[in-house]
Amino acid sequence: MIIGILDIGTDKISCFIANITKDKTPEILGIGHHKSNGISSGMIIDMESACSSIRNSIQSAEKMFGSTVEEFVVNFTSNTIQSQTINLNMSLGNNEVTEEDVIKMYKKIDNLNHGENRQLLHKIRTSYSIDRNIGIEKPIGMKGNELIGGFNLITADKNIVNNFVKCLSMAKVRISDLVATPYASGLGSLNNDDLYIGTTVIDIGAGCTSIATFYKNKLAYVGVINIGGFHISSDIARGLSTSISAAERLKILHGSNIQSDEENDLIDVPLTSNDQSNETHKIYKKELSNIIMSRIQEILENIRSKTDKSIIERNITSNIVLTGKSSELKGFCNLTSDFFGVKTRIGKPIQIKGLAENSSGPGFTVCGGLIKYKILNGEENLQTKFPVENSFLWRKFGTWIKESFF
């Protein structure tokens, strides 16, 4: 199966073309990147510019692949993404649970009121219990009086979703699946042990930072905040009176030493100017370090305040995985570990064949997660080992996309 993958971010748009073999092994056949224009913190702010960036990224990947691709799995980022847990009850009358019972329970979710102007993105089964016997994974064939299903419902602002989908349709992109970015980040960077023992993935993108917590192979929580790596660069530019591009270079070249013993070393900082002057001024590396540290501290504090308190109180998170380009700042791991008191490491795309070295870093875990999502969601059996939402939602959502925009 050939499938297109689109990771649409504030800084760049990445397109992978993957072949998913019969044994569910993905192989990358085409890769394209393009600077992202018309998008800010996941929100479309200029339809025409965003469409052009998306098309350019796809065309680069298709050129490498040697053919066009019909459908794409696409990520969706917005600080309006919310996670809500619910329990649904079903009377069994002392009969066995059937597959039809399970399907009916999933369908009930479509009739729920998710809030004013909310669009359901994912309905993820988190638990089953029969007559208060908890921890059931496969209820079909079991006898009892009442089946209770626990679900994690991921929703977002409907207008923002509509605008995003409309932009993709204008770019001639046919959506196979739309996946919340935090969900994709986790699927792309976590191994089976991570998914089970309790892991929180923090993806520091350019415009947003997304959070996803997985526990016992279930997605327990997602959230997004509108602070990311671009805000670090912006702080550097303002604090040191330099351009954004120069600030980005300083962050990459020297910001990686935020915990080094070289704080009194001097570095050259280009001055902002209307001409092509190469005029610079010198600052201590410590000044740059303080600016970066201050913004990282704010990001971590916002993550803690945004994260569902139950995730912290129940000690669900046993470790933290950092992804996204800004996670590569040296010392970010240690700072995060000290802040939350949890072991922390850098995450990269896993179990993907054919990835070039420059496309296999933390900034590409979303692409890897979108591929894994497609593999998991393509399995028709509702009782998969890792419980993604069943395909009924996406048949309905896919129809809505086609009816609205094609």
The set of residues, in sequence order, having a beta carbon less than 8 Å from that of 249 and lying 6+ positions away, is: none
The confidence band for 9, taking pLDDT boundaries of 50, 70 and 90, is very high
Same domain, 335 and 211: yes
Half-sphere exposure of 283 (CA within 13 A, CB side): 18
Segments in 111-190 forming alpha helices (H): 158-170, 181-189
Same domain, 133 and 260: no
Half-sphere exposure of 271 (CA within 13 A, CB side): 9
Output the domain CATH number for residue 285. Answer: 3.30.420.40
Q: Which two tokens stand for residue 194?
A: 């991570």
Residue 45, amino acid: I
What is residue 314's predicted lDDT score, i.e. its pLDDT?
A: 62
Does residue 4 lie in a domain region? no
Question: Quick one: CA dihedral 378, 223, 186, 78, positive or negative?
Answer: positive
Does residue 147 lie in a domain region? yes
Same domain, 207 and 288: yes
What is residue 350's predicted lDDT score, i.e. its pLDDT?
A: 87
Does residue 224 lie in a domain region? yes
Residue with tokens 């962050």: 251
Same domain, 145 and 208: no
Does residue 366 lie in a domain region? no
Q: Which two tokens stand for residue 126?
A: 């988190």
Residue with tokens 């369908």: 107
Judged against a pLDDT cut of 70, whether residue 394 lies above it is answered with no
Same domain, 121 and 197: no
Same domain, 132 and 90: yes
Q: Which domain holds residue 255?
A: 191-349
Q: What is the DSSP string of 237-260?
A: HHHHT--HHHHHHHHHHTGGGTTS
Same domain, 93 and 238: no
Among 303, 320, 349, residue at a domain's last position: 349
Residue with tokens 């009442």: 146
- CA angle 229-233-235, nearest 5°? 115
Among 136, 158, 180, residue at a domain's last position: 158
| CA distance linking residue 243 with residue 123, whole number of Å | 44
Percent of all residues in the chain with a pLDDT value above 90, rounded to a whole number: 66
Output the domain CATH number for residue 106. Answer: 3.30.1490.110
Same domain, 87 and 136: yes
Q: How many domains are contained in the chain?
A: 2
What is residue 358's predicted lDDT score, i.e. its pLDDT?
A: 78
Half-sphere exposure of 163 (CA within 13 A, CB side): 17
Same domain, 131 and 270: no
Judged against a pLDDT cut of 90, whether residue 330 lies above it is answered with no
**Are 13 and 54 spatial neighbours (Cβ–Cβ below 8 Å)?**
yes
Q: Which two tokens stand for residue 190?
A: 């976590």
For 2, counting Cβ atoms within 10 Å of its Cβ (0-12 exposed, 13-18 middle, 19+ buried), the class is middle
Q: Which two tokens stand for residue 71?
A: 């459908």
Q: Over the chain, what is the mean pLDDT? A: 87
Same domain, 146 and 201: no
The confidence band for 289, taking pLDDT boundaries of 50, 70 and 90, is confident
Residue with tokens 């120069």: 246
Judged against a pLDDT cut of 50, whether residue 348 lies above it is answered with yes
The bridge status of strand 26-35 relative to strand 12-20 is antiparallel
Same domain, 150 and 200: no
Does residue 134 lie in a domain region? yes
Does residue 310 lie in a domain region? yes
What is residue 204's predicted lDDT score, i.e. its pLDDT?
A: 95
Secondary structure E strands in 161-264: 174-180, 199-204, 209-215, 218-225
Instruction: Give the SS3 label for residue 164.
Output: helix
| CA distance linking residue 257 with residue 331, whole number of Å | 7
Same domain, 319 and 249: yes
Does residue 399 lie in a domain region? no
Q: What is the pLDDT of residues 213-237, one digit of tens each?
A: 999 999 999 999 999 999 999 999 9
